[in-house]
Amino acid sequence: MVADLSAGNPPRSLASENGLPAGTPSRGVLSGGTSTDDTSSRDVSSGGVRTGHSVPSEAARQVFLQSDVRAMQAALAQAELAGANGEVPVGAVVLDGSGKVVGVGFNRCIGDRDPTAHAEIVALRMAAAAVGNYRLPGASLYVTLEPCAMCMGAMLHARLARVVYGARDPKTGACGSVLDVHASPVNHQTIVQAGLLEPECGQLLRSFFGKRRADAKRTKSSLSGS
């Protein structure tokens, strides 16, 4: 069973939290439609996210519900846990069709010594275990960074109804930035929406990589001066 988010245990239903029904629209919450500054991917040698990436006009017109915003905020909380553990700060949550959180995850590649331990994969594994099925029809996954090809493939296999992400990844993004995996002629179609809380998602990545560069510069300066 999944419980309080700060300890890896999310609330029972983000859709009905704060008295708002699942279909309550937010007031003017639009997808950002643009990428963030710098360049980012799950690769720990990358740094930040890049601006200036063109975005399909339909993405710029997307309107998100308040329940979507809360779900992405939960994913951001997971991303912060990743950063605190020295991992690239990407987080994900999975909601079932009723809006109940059934899986959470953050990047664990370094700590787990597992190249597949991206936030989305970790969250999918938890969700599948929670519902007792590797198929997750009707479920939605929210992730702070555009999924890579591996993660998008896994989400299609899981039969997710929808994927929502925050910042674009111009290096490895598989939802339109580099590849467009979900648009391939496969036997399951998943709706993909971009740009939810994109400034917050991008800033988290920029701060992480900015600190990493600053630390590396200080180390280099210290070594050269000794």
Residue 150, SS3? helix
- Catalytic residue check, 120: yes
In the sheet that 162-167 helps form, which strands lie side by side, from edge to edge? 101-106, 91-95, 140-145, 162-167, 191-194
CA distance 195 to 198: 5
At residue 158, the pLDDT reads 96
Residue 147, SS3? coil
Residue 145, SS3? strand
Average pLDDT, the chain: 79
**Torsion over CA: 19, 23, 27, 33 (sign):** positive
* Alpha-carbon radius of gyration of the chain: 17
Mean pLDDT of 143-172: 94
Share of the chain above pLDDT 90, in %: 56
Q: List pLDDT tens digits, range 70-118.
A: 999 999 999 999 999 999 999 999 999 999 999 999 999 999 999 999 9
DSSP for residue 24: P
CA distance 8 to 19: 23
pTM of the predicted model as reported, rounded to 2 decimal places:
0.75
Between 164 and 55, the higher pLDDT residue: 164
Q: List pLDDT tens digits, range 172-196.
A: 888 988 877 887 777 778 999 999 9
- The single residue of 17, 58, 87, 120 carrying the catalytic annotation is 120
Query: Closest by alpha carbon to 93, among 82, 102, 85?
Result: 102
**Given 3-state DSSP classes, what are the helix, strand and coil percentages for the chain, each rounded to the nearest 5?**
40, 20, 40
> Around Cβ 155, how many Cβ atoms within 10 Å?
30
